[in-house]
Amino acid sequence: MRFDIENKILIPFMIVLVLSIVTLGMVSYWNGYQLLLTNEIQNRYYHLEEIILHIEDIHLQVLEGRLSLGEAKLKVIQFYSQTTREGLFIARGDEILLDQFNIEEGWDEILLTMTVSNKNEPIQFENSVFVYHINQEWDWIIGYGMRKDLFSQEVLETQKYMILLSIVSLMFSIQAAIFIAHNISKPIKLLADLCDKISLGTPQEKITIKRNDEIGMLAQAFNNMMDKLQLNTAKLIEMTKLNEDILRNISTGIITTDQEGTITSLNPAAEGIFNSVQREETQNLALRERLQRQIGETLTSGKSINHIHVFEDDTEGSKIYVDVMTSLLKGETGKISGAICNFRDITERKRIENNMETLDRLTSMGQLAAGMAHEIRNPLAGMKTSVQVLQKRLLNENEASNKKLFDGLLFEIDRINQLITDLLNFAKPKRPRYEVVNIKDILERSLDLNNKGEIKKNIKIDIVDYSEELLCFVDGDQIQQIFLNIVKNAINALADKGTLTIILEGCQENHKEFAAIKFQDDGCGISPENIERIFDPFYTTNPQGTGLGLSVVYELVKENKGIIQVSSRVNKGTEFKLTFPLHQINEAI
């Protein structure tokens, strides 16, 4: 505890005053207490002598034969039982014959002490005092008990005016001590208080001391220092606020460390990025650990380091990209005080770059596919016509075997023709015919078409609808083709059994409303290295697939101003999320 100069002057005075008055009061109280206790004990002995004389008279009647000893004792007990004698007790051995002291417990120990002492002197037991007499003829212990706390209350009552006078004297003495200490310490305390305010960052006041001694000179020098300090503080605060505003509002995470690599500060953007990157149990270290490792490399090598770290998002089944740059933190003199690390989440940028790459690949593949399809379809048509003519001519010779060969050949030609048709749809999809449609109706038609096809009996399709109506300005046929392809892929991923959950809901992003359709299956999932290639043409993990279904889906979603997102975890399942802008009532059709 810190004492100022006023307290250092005041406290010794108060200690001396309080000790003197308290000591005087305690001595007065103790003397009064002892005096009262002595008087009360003497008074009880007087009463005890009266009882002893009374018992001796009764005992004389026993000796004369007028009463038996038992009748005499009974007479004495009955007499004092009917008479109020506060504190009186009569005992024989460990038996209480009369008790007007009303002690609840401890009589055995008290009587044993009296019997052993046998001096008829006062004894004390806990909060009580006893005076007694042992009658040898009757083997009785006769005595009075008194409670000490009653004496304390009586002493306080008799000395209350003395105590009151002491308190009043103490108060006047304290006031006088306070006045003297205040006048001695006021100038020095005023200067010290202002110094404390300056240390807390509020140097707006000046000291006013009208004295011509050294304290007055010190006050004048203090005021001159304050003027310069206020000017420099204002400039410093302005620069500090500017730096804080920059760090608080910048979207890049900033971390500073000391020379040991211990983090000394980080801005809100850094905390936000930390929260967005989750730790994967076996493959990745936490972002904070990677940053500290890179910071350690910078502090060790003295060089700036730039890395892009990739993390697996457990919840979405996708990847998070963080661009990290570390360099040494130096002062004006070039002295190294630590390291600075700036980093940012570039996941969205990577997604856009990947989408652009996908679009470029799809565009190139589309142009190539269109040219190939036209070049292949023309001779393929001639081949089919020729085969059909040969089939009619040769059916008469060994008809069964020839028919089987011709049917197989025509089937394969039709299969190639279908592949070419898919290529043309992918390369040059038909121009969409936009209209206001209800996404729910299109989904129902798509599921009906799938139910008419090959749906495995152990596969369950659940629809969870969180919206009332989802009206979008899109091409209904193209949206149906999108749904058919995604449902087909999900069923293939489920193998023999599983559940496909379709969720319909409305959502809002950047103050715009969208219809969101999620297709969630609990199938085999897609590995992280394959999930980035699923929209590439001819890429498929299904031996009987063409690899064009999702490529067509990607193009159709883009044509209808939608967004497709996919997340997956191996052996957990896959989710395709489609979002299309909701049609507004006042929007032109």
More confident residue, 412 or 483: 483
Instruction: Give phi and psi for 281, each to the nearest 5.
Output: -60, -45
Token duo for residue 318:
């996708």
Q: What is the pLDDT of residue 391?
A: 64
Handedness of CA 178, 181, 184, 189 (dihedral sign): negative
Euclidean distance between CA atoms 242 and 236, whole angstroms: 10
Looking up tokens 């999900």, which residue turns up? 490
More confident residue, 348 or 524: 524
For the segment 359-366, the average pLDDT, to the nearest whole number, is 58
Cβ–Cβ < 8 Å for 144, 48: yes
Q: What is the pLDDT of residue 284?
A: 43
pLDDT in tens, 17-45: 778 777 877 787 777 777 877 888 888 88
pLDDT at 398 over 60: no
Q: In 248-261, which positions are buried (b, 16+ CB within 10 angstroms) versus exposed (e)?
A: eeeeebbbbbeeeb
More confident residue, 582 or 193: 582
In the chain, which segments carry CATH 1.10.287? 352-427
pLDDT at 107 over 70: no
3-class secondary structure, 551: helix
- Please state, as a whole number, how many other Cβ atoms lie within 10 Å of the Cβ of residue 589: 7
Q: How many CA atoms lie within 13 A of 573 on its CB side?
A: 16
pLDDT at 281 over 50: no
Q: What is the pLDDT of residue 376?
A: 66
Of 282-286, 304-308, 353-357, highest mean pLDDT: 304-308
Q: What is the pLDDT of residue 196?
A: 75
Of 110-114, 227-231, 270-274, 515-519, highest mean pLDDT: 515-519
Superfamily of domain 435-581: Histidine kinase-like ATPase, C-terminal domain (3.30.565.10)
Kindly indicate the confidence band of residue 267, based on its pLDDT and cuts at 50, 70 and 90.
Answer: confident
Kindly indicate the confidence band of residue 291, based on its pLDDT and cuts at 50, 70 and 90.
Answer: confident
Q: How many CA atoms lie within 13 A of 52 on its CB side?
A: 18
pLDDT at 331 over 70: yes
Euclidean distance between CA atoms 121 and 414, whole angstroms: 133
Q: What is the mean pLDDT of the chain?
A: 77
Euclidean distance between CA atoms 307 and 177, whole angstroms: 72
Euclidean distance between CA atoms 136 and 307, whole angstroms: 109
pLDDT at 115 over 70: no
Cβ contacts of residue 495 below 8 Å, gap of 6+?
Answer: 523, 524
More confident residue, 539 or 46: 46
Kindly indicate the confidence band of residue 588, based on its pLDDT and cuts at 50, 70 and 90.
Answer: very low
pLDDT at 521 over 80: yes
Cβ contacts of residue 70 below 8 Å, gap of 6+?
Answer: none
pLDDT at 114 over 80: no
More confident residue, 160 or 341: 341
Kindly indicate the confidence band of residue 467, based on its pLDDT and cuts at 50, 70 and 90.
Answer: confident
Of 308-322, 357-371, 571-585, highest mean pLDDT: 571-585
Cβ contacts of residue 101 below 8 Å, gap of 6+?
Answer: 87, 88, 89, 128, 144, 145
In the chain, which segments carry CATH 3.30.450.20? 5-161, 250-345
pLDDT at 494 over 70: yes
Looking up tokens 């933190």, which residue turns up? 329
For the segment 431-441, the average pLDDT, to the nearest whole number, is 89
Chain-centroid distance, C-alpha 75? 82
Kindly indicate the confidence band of residue 144, based on its pLDDT and cuts at 50, 70 and 90.
Answer: confident
- Which residues are 472's β-sheet partners? 437, 582
Q: What is the pLDDT of residue 225?
A: 80
pLDDT in tens, 212-224: 766 677 777 878 8
Q: What is the pLDDT of residue 138?
A: 87
Euclidean distance between CA atoms 133 and 252, whole angstroms: 98
What's 250-345's CATH class? alpha beta
Token duo for residue 548:
């064009």
- Which residues are 263's β-sheet partners? 257
Range list of H helices, 395-475:
399-427, 439-452
Q: What is the pLDDT of residue 280?
A: 45
Of 95-104, 290-299, 444-453, highest mean pLDDT: 290-299
Cβ–Cβ < 8 Å for 274, 287: yes
Q: What is the pLDDT of residue 429?
A: 60
CA distances from 52 to 121, 193, 507 (A): 15, 78, 106
Cβ–Cβ < 8 Å for 309, 253: no
More confident residue, 400 or 506: 506
For the segment 537-543, the average pLDDT, to the nearest whole number, is 69
- Please state, as a whole number, how many other Cβ atoms lie within 10 Å of the Cβ of residue 326: 26
In the chain, which segments carry CATH 3.30.565.10? 435-581
pLDDT in tens, 476-490: 989 998 998 899 888
Q: What is the pLDDT of residue 464?
A: 92
Q: Which fold has domain 352-427?
A: Helix Hairpins (1.10.287)
Handedness of CA 422, 426, 431, 437 (dihedral sign): positive
For the segment 576-583, the average pLDDT, to the nearest whole number, is 92
3-class secondary structure, 159: coil
Q: What is the pLDDT of residue 56?
A: 87
CATH hierarchy code of domain 5-161: 3.30.450.20
For the segment 333-354, the average pLDDT, to the nearest whole number, is 79
Kindly indicate the confidence band of residue 472, based on its pLDDT and cuts at 50, 70 and 90.
Answer: very high
Kindly indicate the confidence band of residue 440, based on its pLDDT and cuts at 50, 70 and 90.
Answer: very high
For the segment 384-411, the average pLDDT, to the nearest whole number, is 65
Q: What is the dihedral of CA 520, 525, 529, 534, to 10 degrees?
A: -60
Q: What is the pLDDT of residue 270?
A: 79
Angle between helices 476-494 and 549-559 (to 10 degrees): 150
The region of weakest confidence among 17-26, 135-144, 148-157, 351-360 is 351-360
pLDDT at 165 over 50: yes
pLDDT at 375 over 60: no
